[in-house]
Amino acid sequence: MSYAFKPRKSLVLIGLMGVGKTTVGRRLAHALKLQFRDADEEVEKAAGRSVSEIFEDFGEHAFRDGERKVIARLLEEPPMVLALGGGAFVDDETRERVKAMATSIWLQADVETLVQRVARRDTRPLLRDEDPETVLRTLLNKRQAAYAEADIHVDASGGSHQITLDSILQALEGREART
């Protein structure tokens, strides 16, 4: 399905790991005929190593610094759908840049759903040595206030990625109609 409106600025998906930012983002980009980019993949390309390797070799601070620079560069490009890593929007500089240059969309899901989803893959550095449920609850508590500043909030807990996509498109169309 294709939609008549074209966003005038990038659409940035935020939320905790496992919420579906990449999968839903690809579908959203396809529906709107926009390019899709994943900030973590772009950081990996820029660094020439995986996110896990960056965390292991240089720590989270170095990763966040590189992430901030990559996101700033991507937001200068023509409108796209951009999936951010779970912690990116918590960074004050990144959040302010996204607010000024894009429409942010918080994909929300309950922790139980996220635990089930992240259990399927062992690629999450923050979950390697800890209980995923504890880590996700802690991250949500730390990040929720920043995430709440997003322009659009969408429940991505239940149902399919298509239901989440439809909710985003509905919210975007409603927002577009008001401007």
Half-sphere exposure of 6 (CA within 13 A, CB side): 7
8-27: pLDDT as tens digits: 999 999 999 889 999 999 99
27 marked as part of a ligand binding site: no
73 marked as part of a ligand binding site: no
Q: How high is the mean pLDDT of the chain?
A: 88
99 marked as part of a ligand binding site: no
155 marked as part of a ligand binding site: no
18 marked as part of a ligand binding site: yes
| Statement: residue 120 has pLDDT above 70 | no
Write the burial class of residue 155 (CB in 10 Å: 0-12 exposed, 13-18 middle, 19+ buried).
middle
20 marked as part of a ligand binding site: yes
Domain boundaries, the chain: 10-178
pTM score, whole prediction: 0.90
Return the CATH fold of 10-178: Rossmann fold (3.40.50)
- 129 is written with which tokens? 């040595």
128 marked as part of a ligand binding site: no
Closest CA to 154 of 110, 106, 114, 112: 106
